[in-house]
Chains A and B, each alone.
Chain A
Amino acid sequence: AQSVAQPEDQVNVAEGNPLTVKCTYSVSGNPYLFWYVQYPNRGLQFLLKYITGDNLVKGSYGFEAEFNKSQTSFHLKKPSALVSDSALYFCAVRGVSGGYNKLIFGAGTRLAVHP
């Protein structure tokens, strides 16, 4: 069965410092991995995805994520956090084996960036 774990309910970072939001996954076969961001009272916005190729993927707003197959992780990173990055972040996975694979989300991690 597919699953996604985001081990931290909340991450606190000072503005200007690097940030990491953790995600690990379990899926049969090779995964498609995604990060989404949700601002207050808004829908989910797509940030970035890993499909194949380079393990480091770059996305919107200066975010990047590193796929690590041996650790089954896909951590979200940003070199220098902004207060405006404060939001709820969701990791998601879709398996690619078989005819249909549902898109499964983690529980979310709230990122708080302090001035």
Chain B
Amino acid sequence: GAGVSQSPSNKVTEKGKDVELRCDPISGHTALYWYRQRLGQGLEFLIYFQGNSAPDKSGLPSDRFSAERTGESVSTLTIQRTQQEDSAVYLCASSPRGGTEAFFGQGTRLTVV
């Protein structure tokens, strides 16, 4: 596709359930980022991938959060046993090898009820 694609665009889940959020980066982009944006807040860094390795997982808030990436392609962010404080928009971005700026998807709005 032309841009970063995230799915689903909206997800409502019950507290305690697991959710998977998907990100399809721009084809050929080697770097992939996940961020979290709570309502009215800034962007909170979660994890960074270079290819399928994650040199920086420092932003994952707890062991309930994990992420994987297949090669230089799709990434999934998994949140286990969701809590109400996990409610936020989860943004994915990618950038090419040697590139500078990151290109963002539209985000997944997660609501935990």
Chain A residues near B (Cβ < 8 Å): 32, 34, 36, 42-46, 49, 51, 90, 94, 100, 102-108
Given contacts A100-B56, A103-B33, 14 further A-B contacts (CB under 8 A): A42-B106, A43-B91, A43-B104, A44-B43, A44-B104, A46-B103, A94-B100, A102-B48, A102-B56, A103-B45, A105-B42, A105-B43, A106-B42, A107-B42
Interface residues on B, range: 20 to 34
- The reply to whether A104 and B42 form a contact with Cβ atoms under 8 Å apart is no
Nearest CB on A from B36, distance (A): 11
Note all chain B residues with C-beta closer than 8 A to A34: 100-101
User: A108 to B4, alpha carbons, bound, how many Å?
Assistant: 22
Note all chain A residues with C-beta closer than 8 A to B42: 90, 105-108
Note all chain B residues with C-beta closer than 8 A to A104: 45
- The reply to whether A49 and B100 form a contact with Cβ atoms under 8 Å apart is yes
Chain B residues near A (Cβ < 8 Å): 4, 33, 35, 41-43, 45, 48, 50, 55-56, 91, 93, 100-107
- The reply to whether B91 and A44 form a contact with Cβ atoms under 8 Å apart is yes
Question: Which residue of chain B has the shortest Cβ distance to A51 in the bound complex?
Answer: B100
User: A103 to B105, alpha carbons, bound, how many Å?
Assistant: 16
Nearest CB on B from A63, distance (A): 14
Q: Report which of B55, B103, B105, B107 forms a contact with A100, defined as CB distance below 8 A.
A: B55
Nearest CB on B from A31, distance (A): 11
Note all chain B residues with C-beta closer than 8 A to A102: 33, 45, 48, 56
User: A70 to B69, alpha carbons, bound, how many Å?
Assistant: 40
Note all chain A residues with C-beta closer than 8 A to B91: 43-44
Q: Enumerate the 4 nearest inter-chain pairs by beta-carbon distance, A residue then B residue, closest first.
A: A107-B42, A105-B43, A44-B104, A43-B104
| 9 A-B pairs (CB sep. < 8 Å) | A43-B4, A43-B104, A103-B45, A103-B93, A105-B42, A106-B42, A107-B42, A108-B42, A108-B43
Nearest CB on A from B57, distance (A): 11
Note all chain A residues with C-beta closer than 8 A to B45: 102-105
Question: Which residue of chain A has the shortest Cβ distance to B55 in the bound complex?
Answer: A100
Q: Report which of B35, B100, B103, B104 forms a contact with A32, defined as CB distance below 8 A.
A: B100
User: A100 to B91, alpha carbons, bound, how many Å?
Assistant: 21
